[in-house]
Structure 1
Amino acid sequence: MPTDIEQPVEARLVASAPRMESVPATLRYDRADPYAVSMAFPPPATLEGVEVSWAFSRELLAEGVEGPAGLGDVRVRPFGYDRTVVEFHAPEGVAVVHVRTAEVRRFLERAQHLVPAGREHQYLDWERDLVRLLEE
């Protein structure tokens, strides 16, 4: 059984211009970090020309599909009947992307099969995490 999943999604970057540009993005979930998901954007889609990845809680993504969620750097909310908005807040500014809600739900279902919600603690490797913490 795989320990992680990746799912390409089409994200629409919302800018001040009236046109929304499609950018590739990848939702990722790894059983080794069971509480988190990430959304990564490839180098051509970023200002820095390097892959940019934002990590946030799986619970935040799941809640944001149903209603507004998040108060920090990442905020998620439904938009219309078929889109989910993900906002990334950084000192440089805010990036807002729209993703098809069906793609987000499919990703969350796959993550649920890998690690059921509420059982994430059973997949933590306490010894590995402690060793990593002590090394730092």
Structure 2
Amino acid sequence: MITVIEQAVEARLVATAPKVESVPVTLCYDRADPFAVRMAFPAPATLEGIEVSWTFARELLEVGLERPAGYGDVRVRPYGAGRTVVEFHAPEGVAVVLMGSADLRHFLDRSCSVAPPGLEHLYLDVDHSLAELMRGSC
């Protein structure tokens, strides 16, 4: 049974300059962390020159496809016909990324086949997580 979904998507980084750069982004969903999705940016697309990943709620991505969502470090909203904006807020600044809504929906549909929304709690390993937290404390 598949427990991890990875999907490459095309994204456009929007900068203050008129140039809009296209980069490959990897979306990842792992049933071991059933409420989250991870979005990884390759080294050439980051200020640090290393791969950077952001992890945020799968539900944020689902809601953001239909209407503005998020108030923290990650915000998602529809942008015109067929596109979605994902904003990443960090102390260094804000990164604005445009992605195809169809690509995001396809990824979310695939993730729902691994852990259906509303049933994520069934895939949490609470005992393992608690053991990891307590390791070395005694």
The normalised TM-score by structure 1 is 0.97
Query: Aligned runs of 1:1-136 on 2, under 5 Å?
Result: 1-135=1-135
CA distance in 2, matches of 1:26, 1:132: 28
CA distance in 1, matches of 2:70, 2:135: 32
| Count of equivalent residues | 136
The normalised TM-score by structure 2 is 0.96
Residue 51 of structure 1 aligns with an amino acid whose one-letter code is E
Shift of 1:2: 1.3
SS class of match (1:71): coil
CA distance in 2, matches of 1:118, 1:105: 17
Structure 1 residue ranges, 4+ long, deviating more than 6 angstroms after superposition: none
Sequence identity (%): 65
Shift of 1:77: 0.1
Q: 5+ unaligned residues in a row in structure 2: which ranges?
A: none
Shift of 1:135: 2.3
CA distance in 2, matches of 1:132, 1:81: 45
Shift of 1:132: 1.1
Shift of 1:49: 1.4
Shift of 1:40: 0.3
CA distance in 2, matches of 1:80, 1:19: 19
Calculate the aligned-residue CA RMSD, in Å: 0.9
Deviations 1:73-132 (A, max 9, x none): 000000001100000000000000000000000000000111000000000001110111
